[in-house]
Amino acid sequence: MNFYISNFNSDAVKHLISINILVYTATFVFSQYKIENILSLYHPLDNRFEFYQIFTHMFVHSKRLFLHIVFNMLALFMFGGQMETLLGIKKFLVTYFLSGILAALLQLVFNTSILYYFVHSLDFSQAKRTFDYLNQEQRINLYSSMYSPMMGASGAVSGIVGAFARYFPEHKIFILPFPFPIAVRKALLIFIFGSLISALFNLAPGVAHFAHIGGILSGYFIGNFFLKKENRF
C-alpha cells in the first residue's frame, strides 16, 4: 500500500478535516454564540451537560491553542487515509467515532475518580478549613475534573492511530525525542506510558491524557476485531 498517495483519495478523512476546520473557524466568526461551550463535553453531573456532546465534542478545538487542531488534523491526514482505504468508509467511521466516544468515557471515569477522591477526603463539618488545606494545584484539579469541558478529536484520531498499529505494527514512524524512526507499536507504547505518567502526576494540566490512552486502546482492539473477522473468510 502506498502510505502517501492514499491520503489524498480518502473521502471520509477529507470531510472530517473539513468539518473540523469549519467548526474551528465558526468559533471565531460567530464567537458571540459560544459554539465551543455548546459542543464541548461536560461532566454528566454538570448542569450544562447534554447527551449530544458525547458526539459533538470531537469537532470542536481549543481557540487558545492553535496547535490542538493542527496536530489532530495532521495525524488524521497521516494515518487516516491508509485506514480508510484498508477498512472502507463504514468501518473507518465506526473506528473513528466509537474510539472517540470510548476515549471520552474513560476520561470522564478518571475525572469522576478525582472528584470522588476529593469529596470523600473532605470533612464537611469543617469544609472551609479542609478546603483551605488544599494547595492551588489540588483546587484546580478539583474544579477542572467537574467543570472543565472536554473538546477535540484527539480520542477519535488516537483510535485511528491505534487501529493503524494493529494492522501495521512494524511500520516505522518518528516520535520525539528519538532522532530515528521506530515501529509504530513501540511508539504508541511509549506514548501511552508518557500519557499515564503525565495524567497521574498532573505534568500537563488541561490535557485529556486518558482520552488519548482510551482512544489508542479502543482503536487497537476495534482494528483487531476487524482483522480477525477478515481472516475468517
pLDDT at 123: 55
Among 83, 82, 86, smallest CA distance to 3 is for 82
Sorted by where each starts, the structural domains of the chain and their CATH numbers stand as 5-231 (1.20.1540.10)
* Beta pairing, strands 182-183 & 172-173: antiparallel
User: pTM for this structure?
Assistant: 0.86
Task: With H, G, I as helix, E, B as strand and everything else as coil, classify residue 149.
Answer: coil
Instruction: List, in sequence order, every residue forming a beta bridge with 182; answer none if it has no partner.
Output: 173
pLDDT at 18: 97
CB 213 within 8 A of CB 161: no
Burial class (CB in 10 A: 0-12, 13-18, 19+), 64: exposed
Among 151, 183, 152, smallest CA distance to 170 is for 183
The cell for 55 is: 458526539
pLDDT at 45: 83
pLDDT of the chain along its 233 residues, tens only? 445 445 556 899 999 999 999 999 999 999 999 999 999 999 888 889 999 999 999 999 999 889 999 999 999 999 999 999 999 999 999 999 999 999 999 999 988 887 666 666 655 555 555 556 666 666 555 565 556 789 999 999 999 999 999 999 999 887 777 788 899 999 999 999 999 998 877 777 778 899 999 999 999 999 999 998 887 75
pLDDT at 111: 80
